[in-house]
Structure 1
Amino acid sequence: MSRRALVALTLTALVPALAGLTQAPASAAPPGDPGPGREVSTTSRLQDRREVAAGTRAYSLGFEDGRFYANGWHITGEMGGIWTPPVKLLDGVWFGLDDQWVGPATKFTSGRGYTRYDLPQTAGLQVRRTDVVPDGRRGALFGLTITNPGAARTTTLKVDAHSELMGQYPWGFDGVKPNASDNLPDQGRYDGKHLVFTDDGALPGAPEHHYAAVVGTAQQPQSGAVGSQYWGPQPGHRCTGTEPGAPADPKPAACDDGPFGHGTGGELTWRLSLPAGGSTTVWLGVAGSDQGQAAAQQELAGLLKAPAAQLAAKVHARDGLANRTKLSLPGDPLVQQAVDWGKQNLADLTLSARDLQIRWTDQGKQFPEPLGTVPEATWIGAGYPDYPWIFGTDAEYTSFAAVSVGQFEAIKSHLRALRDISDLLNHRSGVVSHETVADGSTWFGHDSRHTNPDGTTAYDFNTDETVKFPSAVALLWRWTGDNGFRDEMYDFTKRNLHYVVSQLDADHDGWPEGLGNVERTGMGTEKLDNTVYFIRGLFDLADMARSKGDTATATWANDLATRLQQRFDPTWWDQAAGQYADSLTDPGNVQSFQKHWIGQTPMEVELAPNGQAQPGLAPYEHGTTALAGRENDCFSGTAPLNPGLFHTGCGGGANGQGEKVIFGLTTSIQSVGEGNYGRLGADQQGRYTHALAEPMFAEPATGGTPDEQPGAMPEIFPSPDQGANIDRCWTCRSMFMQAWGNYGTAWAVVHQWLGVRPDLGVGRLAVVPQVPAGQPSVAGRDIRLGGGSADVLASHTGSTYRTEVSVGRGVGAGTVVIGHTLPRGTAPRTVTLDGRVIRNYTVTTTNRGVEVTVPTTAGHHVLTITT
């Protein structure tokens, strides 16, 4: 069957070709399973699990039983519901048939670009709900498919909606001005066809706003009403944490609203005629705008124009993403599945907004006039529900996952947005912003500092984001060959690193000062991760400068990087601990070892001195010692929770107690570090790739279940110091979907196992795989590179190592190097390329192992090595 025919079959199975409120013939099935691997489902504890259906301009975030409970902590209890950044529209919507509320669901399914609920029989009718948020639309569609198993009949359909028009900022923390508690009350009305909700006015010290949400279908309702009592089957209970008799930490299902909710509600009803044995799908649209009611009405009209066709287009687009970097990992299907669904996570987190008014809020202490406007921004959000906006450090890690799966445009746009925001916010100093909400309000990441009472310097930005930025740009340049993008970003990357040298090295020892990714007290002024990424960033800037003919910058950056690389290990290696120091305390560069996860960054980075890939900054002996030293219950979790890497090992940290909390990022750092040193075994890198993958899916062999949404990688995994999200309270959960953890799976497979190593900015591509022990083969098809793609198949049987590649000429690689990585201490006996014995092969020992490579050209090639 052709791909086009398969897509057509899939969409037919998904939902009848319906628009607005229509009837389908008896033969049309309700939404169903479109095929193996294209959906993942769960049936357990649905009221405790959050979910999201997302598009580029909006998202709907509820729970897997089909209800909408209060949750999230940036704005207490208000981070769920239907949003079109930067404004929230509704707390939720609910369906009823013949005075019976539909639900709760018995099964929840994540699909490519949609979510689906299997609902119990209601009023004698079979019911399913499909949620989709079309890309580019400022609203969400809810498709209720009603199947009548008996004789023709009528039924009354009702829909309740509860509004909550408010901005993504301000938040509800103490001291934030203005505060989420200043939220204005919504106004509601029924205009004869739709429910219309508005919020017009101004928060204290903020400009006037005009928020609007509109709810309805393409069909005329029988009736409509408004009032605060409309919460569907939910009682509308408000949780504040202070109400008499309230539990201290209720689950989300106990809370329908939070302390800052000032919404209202409404109800619409229709009389439906149901054919005998047939199905009817009702498409309810929820749309809105931060530009007033007329704009919201226009958004709803576009949303309700051929909804099923918009669902089909969404699925088709997501199928296209799924078919890039199509993996075959017969020895590790769990990781293969994790990478496949990671593609969908990144797409779900890709959002856009317009007219961002860039303000420096100084962690909520002020709300000044904007410094300027970014007309449009697209970004990969950090996570749902509390981090769906623009971050520096998250994107810089996520970029490795994004290029691995071919999602170039989203991460390019994110880097552009960071540059534009940072230049306005920081007056072109080169400092990279940390955190900016979709309206432009910036919480942290300003080029300013002050003195603490103890005389130390407090920074209003993180150094790590500034030193990592040039590497993110170089990464995109190497994978795309886009010299225009390099040139567009080049001046900013130069300013990044010149700022670090001139402003963040008071003692002139070369090690950058300032905050790093570990936002904890008690560390020295010079942080390990800042140093590691600074060295990498200098080499990457030198590489870009060399390609542009900027000899002065290339020489400056390369010479400084080389000097720091030579001094790194003697300065930072803690011989007694068998690990790298977390930080240095001045004066004297005194080592401080608090057992934070950043101790693994010297193994995680890949350098590119003179354009040649070098996995790991640490020498092999120290790198392998440090990696192995974290593979125990002091530094990593164990079953039955999660075997990933703790934030801080036992006995570490400023309080000496450690933080046994497992993050997707910490685990990714360990995963990639293991891969850089050829440690691909099941109890080495495999331990951490599986730690990342397992919370995404139900694991029948272990009796496990997904952390929350099937197919979504969460921010924090079940840990000794933090239990599973589904057991936690309404405001104390981590993100159920976060982007940066996909670094540890996608990059590990594509870059390390398959060995895809592009340098397309200078027209080179190397493919040097390393097959994990115990796996017969690893393969990837349609790996996006430049303007084309490549296929890779690598296998290892006994003493034979085989690499098969197909490189399209559209890739833009004038030189192709094909190879294979052998274990350390192994030497090739014979090397053949396309059946011809090769004598002029190259053998290079790296931290990965022994790389045997042969130069060739684009096209199809097979390399075979025997040892």
Structure 2
Amino acid sequence: MPHPVRPRTVLAALTAAAATAAALAVVPPTQASDSPSARAAVPRELSETTQLAERRSLVVGRRFFEMGAEDGRYPATGFHTRGEMGGFWTPPIKLLDGLWFKAGSTWLTSSRYTSGWGYQRMDLGTHDGVAITRTDFVPGSMRAGLVRLRLDSPTATTLDLSVDAHSELMKVYPWGETKPTDQRTYNLADTGKVRRGALLFQEQGTPPATNAERHDYAAVVGSTLTPASTDLGPDHRGPQDPAVICPASGPDAPTQPAYCDDTEYGKGTGGALHYRVRVPAGGRTVWFAVAGSDNGAVAARRSFDAALDRPGRRLDAVLAARRQVNAWSRVAVPGDRLLERSIAWSKQNLAESVQQARDLKVRVTHAGTVYPAPKGTVARADWIGAGWPDYPWLFATDGEYTGFASVAAGQFAAIERHLKALRDVSRVANGRSGKIVHEVTPDGQVYFGAKGDEGNTDETAKFPSAVALVWRWTGDDGFRDAMYPASVRAMRYIFRVLDRDGDLWPEGLGNVERPGMGEEKLDNTVYTIRGLRDLADLAASKGDTSTRRWANRRAAAMQRRFDKAWWYGRGTAQYADSLDDPGNEKVFQRHWIGVTPAEAELRMPNGRLRPVAPTDHARALVAKRQESCYSGKYGLFHTGTGATTDPGGNKGATCDSAVSTRPAERSVFTLNTSIIAVAEAALGRMRRGQVQRWTTDNAQVQLDRSVWELPGAMPEIAPSPDFGANIDKLFTERSSALQAWGTYGVLWPVVHYQLGVSPDVGRHRLRVVPDIPDGQHALSVSHLRLGRGWVDIETTRGTDRLRTEVSHARGLRLVVGAVLPPERAVKRVRLDGERSAYVVVRTPRGREVRVSAGRARHAEVVVVLR
């Protein structure tokens, strides 16, 4: 199962220029620069100068990533295989533990670290009169990373420059403690040599394990320069020699030192390249590359040569791709610039997180307890990586949450391919059963989510909802048609297999994997209801009457019984976390999933949107979560505090009279905070301290220098009472430095609820009904992507009027309006300056004024208030 500090399972990875161009096939109109959103100043770089040795660095591409520390060192990092999850990777293999530079006799360390859109930069100081700056990035979709050393000098000089590299060729799976084999036996010794002026490291052979396959891994390290001399040897870790070695993990492992350079799993070797570099007056640029392959030295060298072919142009292409990412969904929040910047950086985080692997041998390991022969092969998989460094692979639940942020950011291709990868791997692992896998490493290992595994039920239930979401935003009938059979099978599987007692509440694991829960989990139930409604909507669009009726009838039956079966009440104002069989006894443990009945939005057959919970209970539970027993400085606790029978007792405030069997877990995951931010917005809770509280929490841990570890990266867990802060933990015990799902909590509340964008592009419809939060007077977005077109929206809120202006590039049937402030009424409504008919619709968000604008490509609605 996943790491014990997280309920389950990005920095961020780079989107290749060519891939981004394909994903963003519609070029934003040139007038983008004239919009209010475009004029908002969002920094494209964030820098840090303090505690650099304690902060992780990260740069990621579609098929390559690198993690070290911000001072230029490479500490042993990560926990899946203890200490080996950092360094240089080309999934599914690791290449190097690290890469270090020396000028003269001095190893270079950074005094300033900068995270930029598509690159990282380190200021390495002045040596022998030469100022040195290092910039790392990943060129396109290559299995290579580039390092640019900028050497600046006012006068001509010669610099002695050396580079150390220490290899660690190792497959992503097995991990440190998996059975029946782990990396102590699976990882073979590396060899090193010098070929054509570059270091060549190789690991070849067949591990001594059942069903292990012969492999040929290779890494190449070198430069456009010709070395004056070279060295080979077992060390070559730059300033980290002699290395401090961490013990292998396990129940009997000795205590770790505070800092490690390598681990007992390591079987790498090293080498050095020495150069005499002529630096002219004004300076010069020197390029280095690290490349690799799991298909031998020839393939690795091919990637190496390609990366160093016009490397400057490759950097330009990366920067251009990132500018195009920024061009879509340019949101302006004049009253909340922190949130505005978080949206911009979250779009970059998502784009960075896109990953790709080839030739995945699908192997079902049942939570690391077996290592069988592969069941089949998936030729290619593209996905949105969950988190770095320990979860950069394919997850169902992560992608299904991240999908909301992806469509709001206009990154359609990434989420479509993610869902396709889930379908393809699930088909090999689980046949045509319908069960969606949980966790897949880039070599095709299915750690959890096969038919014999208990759950994860919610991921199967969320799959049709993710498909429907993407189809509504893209209108991509080809995608819908390709994913529809898997969506039908997913929901049929739940009721055929996962509802063993036939009470409509599916059994199996959900997002919270904690002891003492009943067989039936709240989030599984909530997302099953939503999945049924979304499947019915897809079925209606396909003309599949039988499936539409089946899904709607099931959903209606569950909704009728939901509140009586799940509302815990008794002074808690919350739902039960689970039901215990027999008898469906309500179990209340205060986990974050208690918010999902207010967060999950149902599209009803009449087209109306509503949460699973009745509005009064949804509002009550969300308001309760604002209290100190459920939340802290940076967001929502995983498990709230209060009376408990656990021997550890209550670690915090008490907000109700219930007694739980579980202790509090006051760890703040950015996903949990996202869930409640969405719930607040869905209920129209736009007053100060409501939705803004949670969007600010996630934005702060991403962009506030007093909180962040890695500038601009949305982390997995915020600083919190029971977790602490990543920067204070061992490098081998931290949560993800960047986790994609936290972007859900900033992009979706603003785009879908505050700007009020509800597209149904597949049916050629668009509704825009904004709800501006208290304390703000304007919101806008330019070039919000819809299908093959775009929409611009500006909305303002005055003392006596609400104004919404919409322009779009497609002939959609348009409805425009606004959510009325409490206790205000409509005096009159104008459409494009003329008096207009309108309707007022009561929704969970409040009273929505709606005006039909037909197929107009531009509409301005002004609601004058009484």
TM-score, with structure 2 as normaliser: 0.91
Q: Which residue of 2 aligns with 1:17?
A: none
For the residue of structure 1 that corresponds to 2:263, the secondary structure is coil
Matched-pair contact (CA < 8 Å) for 1:96–1:159: yes
Name the counterpart of 1:866.
Answer: 864
The offset of 1:321, in angstroms, is 0.3
CA separation of 1:613 and 1:43: change in aligned 2, threshold 3 A: farther
Partner of 1:550: 544
The AA in structure 2 aligned to 1:140 is: G
* Kept after mapping to 2: 8 A contact 1:600/1:673: yes
Q: Residue 775 and residue 705 in structure 1: after superposition, are their counterparts in 2 closer, same or farther (change >3 A)?
A: same
Letter of the structure 2 residue corresponding to residue 608 of structure 1: R
Distance (Å, rounded) in 1 between the aligned partners of 2:197 and 2:772: 61
Question: Retained in 2: the 8 A contact 1:46–1:64?
Answer: yes
Q: Which residue of 1 aligns with 2:322?
A: 318
Residue identity in the other structure for 2:84 = E
Structure 1 residue 66: Cα displacement: 1.4
Aligned pair partner of 2:81 in 75, 82, 85: 75
Indicate how the Cα distance of structure 1 residues 180 and 344 shifts in structure 2: closer, same or farther if over 3 A, else same: farther
Of residues 493, 496, 506 in structure 1, which corresponds to 2:500?
A: 506
Letter aligned with residue 644 of structure 1: L
Q: Within 5 Å, give how 1:656-671 maps onto structure 2.
A: 656-671=662-677
Pick 1 or 2: higher relative contact order, CA cutoff 8 A, min separation 6. 2
Instruction: Quickly say closer, same or farther: Cα 1:39–1:650, change in 2 above 3 A.
Output: farther
- Preserved CA contact (<8 Å) 1:324 1:781: yes
Q: Retained in 2: the 8 A contact 1:120–1:126?
A: yes
Rate the CA distance shift 1:379–1:156 in 2: closer, same or farther, 3 A.
Answer: same
Conserved 8 A contact 1:170-1:179: yes
CA distance in 1, matches of 2:564, 2:171: 51
Render the CA deviation track for 1:333-389: whole Å, top value 9, x for unaligned.
Answer: 111111111111112211101000000011122111111100001000100000000
Deviation at 1:512, TM superposition (A): 1.1
1:818 aligns with 2:816: yes
SS in 1 for 2:368: coil
Structure 2 residue aligned with 1:831, among 829, 832, 854?
Answer: 829
Percent sequence identity over matched residues?
47
The correspondence of residues 41-440 of structure 1 with structure 2, limited to 5 A, is 41-103=47-109, 105-149=110-154, 151-173=155-177, 175-203=179-207, 204-205=209-210, 206-241=212-247, 248-251=255-258, 254-276=259-281, 278-440=282-444
In 2, distance between residues paired with 1:196 and 1:282? Answer: 20
Measure how far apart 1:134 and its partner are: 1.3
Query: Aligned partners of 2:637 and 2:842: how far apart in 1?
Result: 28
Asked whether the 8 Å contact 1:578–1:625 carries over to 2, the reply is yes
Give the distance between the partners of 2:222 and 2:606, measured in 1 at CA: 57
Contact 1:545 1:554 in 2 (8 A): yes
Where structure 2 has 5 or more consecutive residues not aligned to the other structure, the ranges are: 1-16, 18-40, 647-659
Instruction: Indicate if the aligned counterparts of 1:529 and 1:601 stay in contact, CA closer than 8 A.
Output: yes
Looking at structure 2, the residues matched to 229 and 124 of structure 1 have their Cα atoms a distance apart, in angstroms, of: 29
Moved more, 231-240 or 747-756: 231-240
Code of the residue aligned with 2:674 in structure 1: it is S
2:531 to 522, 537, 543: 537
Kindly provide the CA deviation profile for residues 802-847 of structure 1, in whole angstroms up to 9, marking residues without a partner as x.
11111112xxx531111111134543221111101112x1211111
Offset of residue 247 of structure 1: 9.8
Q: 1:359 to 1:573 in 2, by over 3 A?
A: same
Say if 2:553 is the partner of 1:559: yes
| 1:605 positional shift | 0.8
Once the 2 structures are TM-superposed, how far is the Cα of residue 258 of structure 1 from its aligned partner?
A: 1.4
Counterpart contact for 1:635–1:650, Cα < 8 Å: no
Aligned to 2:603: 608
Residue pair 1:153, 1:275 contacting (<8 A) in 2 also: yes
Quick check: 1:768–1:818 contact (8 Å CA) kept in 2? yes
How far has the Cα of 1:651 moved from its partner? 4.2
Of 579, 584, 587 in structure 2, the residue corresponding to residue 584 of structure 1 is: 579
Structure 1 residue 44, shift from structure 2 partner: 1.1
- CA deviation vs aligned residue, 1:148-201 (integer Å, no higher than 9, x gap): 13x311111111111100011110015452444531110000124110000001
CA 1:649–1:414 in structure 2 vs 1: closer, same or farther (change >3 Å)? farther
CA distance 1:781–1:176, change in 2 (3 Å): farther
Q: Which runs of 5+ in 1 are unaligned?
A: 1-10, 12-34, 450-458
Give the partner amino acid of 1:572. Answer: W
2: distance between equivalents of 1:247 and 1:372? 39
Comparing 91-100 and 439-448, the one that deviates more: 91-100
Opposite residue 188 of structure 1, the aligned amino acid is G
- SS in structure 2 at match of 1:773: coil
Moved more, 498-507 or 613-622: 613-622
What is the aligned length?
A: 805
Which residue identity does 1:619 align to in structure 2?
P
Q: What's the C-alpha RMSD, in Å, of the aligned pairs? A: 1.7
For the 8 Å contact 1:164–1:263, the answer to whether it is kept is: yes
Separation (CA, whole Å) in 2 of partners of 1:443 and 1:479: 32
Residue 130 of structure 1 aligns to a residue in which SS? strand
- Secondary structure of the structure 1 residue equivalent to 2:631: coil
What is the match of residue 763 of structure 1? Answer: 764
CA distance in 2, matches of 1:601, 1:192: 58
What's the counterpart of residue 646 of structure 1? 638
Which position in structure 1 is the counterpart of 2:12?
none
Asked whether 1:515 is paired with 2:503, we answer no
How many angstroms does 1:511 deviate by? 1.2
AA of the residue aligned to 2:175: W
1:213 and 1:858 map into 2 onto residues whose CA distance is: 57
In structure 1, how many angstroms separate the alpha carbons of the residues matched to 2:781 and 2:42? 19
Q: State the partner residue of 2:8.
A: none
**Cα displacement string for residues 294-352 of structure 1 (whole angstroms, at most 9, x for unaligned residues):** 00000101110111110100010011001110111111111111111111111221110
* CA offset digits 1:702-757 (Å, max 9, x no partner): xx241x11000100111110111000012110001000111010001111111111
Secondary structure at the counterpart of residue 109 of structure 1: strand
Which stretch of structure 1 is more off in the superposition, 506-515 or 734-743? Answer: 506-515
Q: Deviations over 1:475-506 (max 9, x none)?
A: 00000000110000000000000111111112
Give the whole-Å Cα distance in 1 for the aligned partners of 2:526 and 2:401.
14
SS for the counterpart of 2:238 is coil
Cα separation, 2, equivalents of 1:632 and 1:543: 37
Identify the range of structure 1 (216-225 vs 406-415) with the bigger mean alpha-carbon deviation: 216-225
Inter-partner Cα distance in structure 1 for 2:636 and 2:157: 55
Where does residue 793 of structure 1 map in the other structure? 794
Cα distance in 2, alignment partners of residues 147 and 57 from structure 1: 32
Of the structure 1 ranges 566-575 and 90-99, higher mean CA displacement relative to structure 2 is found in 566-575
Partners of 1:705 and 1:592 in 2: CA distance: 35
CA contact (8 A) 2:637 2:665 kept: no
